[in-house]
Amino acid sequence: MLITADPSDDQPIYRQIVDQLRQFIAAGTLRPGDALPSVRQLAADLGVNLNTVAIAYRELAGEGLVEIKHGRGARVTADREQTFDEEQVRKLLLPILSKMILAGKTDGEIIGLVRDELQSMRGEKE
């Protein structure tokens, strides 16, 4: 598991951390009970402020994906069967789909990209 941060990305660093950890949990790379790197360690590894990592961990805790215990760090608590708000997912998809359509992608290309990413997350071969 390698978490990265790209300062040139449009998304804030904390959001990049949240998204990557969520992906690791969804893919089964991180399982319930697994410890996350300490806030201090991950901040040092990424070259970011401690608060940036702390904010990311708190957001994941708010989603029920991790549990934070003072002095003992953060651990994955949720399994891959977490519920989600379909309306919220649709709101997130809309700008992405719009960009792809404006770039001239066909429905088949868009669906193919989604399929490829799902297979990649699940470790499946094409």
The per-residue pLDDT for range 81-97, each reduced to its tens digit, is: 566 678 878 888 898 99
Distance CA 81, CA 46 (A): 30
Pair 103, 114: CB distance under 8 Å: no
19, 65: one domain: yes
What residues contact 49, with CB distance under 8 A and at least 6 apart? 43
Name 66's bridge partners.
Answer: 76
CA distances from 105 to 34, 37, 93, 98, 120 (A): 39, 39, 15, 10, 21
- Asked if residue 8 belongs to a domain, the reply is no
Q: What is the pLDDT of residue 84?
A: 66
Range(s) of the domain holding residue 92: 86-121
pLDDT at 80 over 60: no
- Asked if residue 117 belongs to a domain, the reply is yes
